[in-house]
A and B are shown apart, each in its own frame.
Chain A
Amino acid sequence: MLDPRLLIVTGKGGVGKSTVAAALAVAAARTGRRTCLVEVEGRQTLHHLFETAPWDFAEREFRPGLWGLSIDPDASLAQYLEMFYGARRLSKLVVGSTAVEFATTAAPGIKDVLLIGKVKEIERRRDPDGRLRYDLIVVDAPPTGRIVRFLRAPEATTELVAVGPIRSQAQAVIDLLLDWDRTRIQLVTMLEEMPVAETVEAAAALHGLGVAVGPLLVNRVLPARFDEQSRKALIDDLLPGELAGILGEVGIEVGEDAAAELRDLGAGHLQRLDLQQRMRESLDDALALPTLELPYVYGAQFGPEVVSVIALVIEDALQGGSDEVDAT
């Protein structure tokens, strides 16, 4: 799963796309890959997840083997102008000016081309000894609602712009995105109706683009907890009074009302598990993608703790042998 050089992580809003992107990067770094985690569109989510200072356009190694940066289109434009024209003065003059705002927002997709162009530049970068700087680049990309437009931007640009540097930049970006050896799109989803529906839709659209889609990452999967017998006991005949009595035996005194709520809590959990199972089946039916399930992380804190747990699960899956993840 971490074998390509570029992972573009997308998913419906709210499924934990950024957390999973962060966990993929952590898992890659822990397994010895020099990894660069990229945030686009200046969302400023990832540095909160790692509790670091805000990221900017300069890559920084914020953990051993793990670099982070946040790309915003204006900065990539400035760098682009500088690189191609040696035009430091010119770029100072035009970047942030209404002229450039006009050119880049009105000509569709140019900003996205520059964003992915920057990623391409990072991917190709070499150290003085000739070795590629990074083994893996993980991009926390726009959500599934906008991912197709984002990835199609270079192509749309070549359709509108016949010549010029933007045209060649766009072509180079297309070559990278369509290179199945180097680039893979990682869809993140959750086992609920709407994320599943949107994921199925997005997977079809991505296949249409001709990009490689990696194993499906299913986030926030609830653990089963109950075995078959205790599940049956809970559903069939565990009355609140009886439950309160059992708990009393081990020194936990709850009233019958609290026992009834505890029982409802269990019943609700079982219902969510049933829903999960239905969603798992409909994903399997709709998509022929290998799947890796990531756990819902209980615990007292959001942030680094959650990223760390998910990264461990990803590492375990990698050590499970082949690079193909089993369909679960």
Chain B
Amino acid sequence: MSRASTVLAQARARDLAGVAAERHVIVCTGAGGVGKTTTAAALAVAAARQGRRTLVLTIDPAWRLAQSLGLPRIGGEPRAVEQVPGLDAMMLDMKRTFDDVIDRYAPDRRRAERIKSNRFYTQLSDSLAGTQEYMAMEKLYELHATSGYDCLVVDTPPTRSALDFLDAPKRLTDFLEGRFLSTFLSPGITAGRTLGRVAAFGSGLMLKAASRITGAGVLEDLAEFFQSFEGMYEGFKNRAQATYRLLRSHQSAFVVVASPETPALREARYFLQRLAQDGMPTAGLVVNRTTPALPPRLSGLRRTHADGAARLLEEGGPERLAAATLLRLAVDRADVRRREQYAIAAALHGVDPHTLVEVPLMATDICDVAGLEALSAYLLRTPEGTRE
């Protein structure tokens, strides 16, 4: 057996039971539409079933977790999931989290109000690079520090690159304390004076160029907005670093989620590599919606053989016709199984996910607690989940 296939075999033998039973923070990440939110909710159900006070926090604006949990909607407050004792769910309210952050770090109420009344404030909360990720971290840390939950399960924002989540604290603080910003915030600009001085020439040119893009007036308003943050950066930065340390510690676990298709797996590979590089505690890769293996006698069936047999059967009655269709379905599924397995092996070449769980495509969609229980049985490889 090659080293690569040994790593895969070992990863397939492990499960996520320990993660659900012990870790304090579980972060689910991966490409959009792979079942991240559902996986997070299933892990949260598993943790709560172990008697741990658990909160699942979603950042997804599409209310998908609400659907998963059969709730009509989730507000910006933790809300008990009726069918699962010990489990709360909440949706991250971006605007409110941002407001809280401003209130916490602003030196006084007046300053806080000044920021919150700026015309850029609301737009910024969802357009500034990294803001959404930063707010998710912020909320996560706040819950960790104050809420008393044993287990916090969070799914990452639906950003194109899941790495944004990991980079969020650094990117935002870099941005906020950037060199440009400090020149930009020099009083000369906001006071509207000309930038004739030699020292200011460089940044003046930049500003002129930038103004050409945005139109006059806009940058001045922005400068004022950012200037009102002055003195708060230290608070942002410390908090971001504390969050990063929390995520890096062994209280935390990252679960990467994918579908068995190449683009999602490529993203998962990239993320696993990046987690390893940062020394983050990777707990496993969950591949949802996979095609399960058929018994050897069926999976080894050649298409030509199956086609020939099916043609003979199609001349018979309904039972024989059904058997013929089942044969064709089986060889088609075996093909799909092969391409998926190939894609998974390719994505994990040279990468160790620690645990690999392949969850078969269920006969129905998961949109209630029973569905989440079924999913968590696979993640934990508890008896009903190991049957394939």
Contact = CB atoms under 8 A, between A and B. Distances in A.
Contacts of B322: 226, 230-231, 233-234, 238, 266
Contacts of B207: 99
B210 A102 contact: yes
B295 A98 contact: no
B215 A166 contact: yes
Contacts of A227: 321
A299 B335 contact: yes
Contacts of B119: 160
Contact of A105 (B34, B128, B295): B128
Interface in A267-287: 267-269, 271-272, 275
Interface in A218-249: 225-227, 229-234, 237-238, 242-243, 246-247, 249
Sort chain A's interface into a size bin: 35 or more
Contacts, number: 236
Interface string B206-227: 1101111111111100100000
B62 A145 contact: yes
Contact of B364 (A146, A160, A249, A271): A271
A227 B205 CA distance: 73
Contacts of A266: 322, 325-326, 329
Sort chain B's interface into a size bin: 35 or more
B325 A230 contact: yes
A59 B218 CA distance: 34
A225 B339 contact: no
Interface of B: 31-34, 60-62, 64, 67, 119-120, 123-124, 126-129, 158, 160, 175, 178-181, 184, 203, 205-207, 209-219, 222, 259, 261-264, 266, 294-295, 297-298, 301, 305-306, 308-309, 312-313, 316-323, 325-330, 332-333, 335-336, 338-339, 343, 361, 363-365, 367
Given A265-B294, A299-B335, 18 more contacts: A14-B34, A48-B266, A99-B180, A100-B206, A101-B129, A101-B175, A105-B127, A145-B32, A145-B61, A161-B215, A192-B365, A227-B321, A230-B318, A234-B326, A250-B309, A252-B306, A258-B294, A301-B339
18 contacts: A12-B33, A12-B62, A13-B34, A14-B32, A41-B160, A98-B180, A99-B180, A99-B203, A101-B175, A102-B181, A107-B214, A164-B213, A229-B321, A231-B322, A234-B325, A258-B297, A261-B294, A265-B326
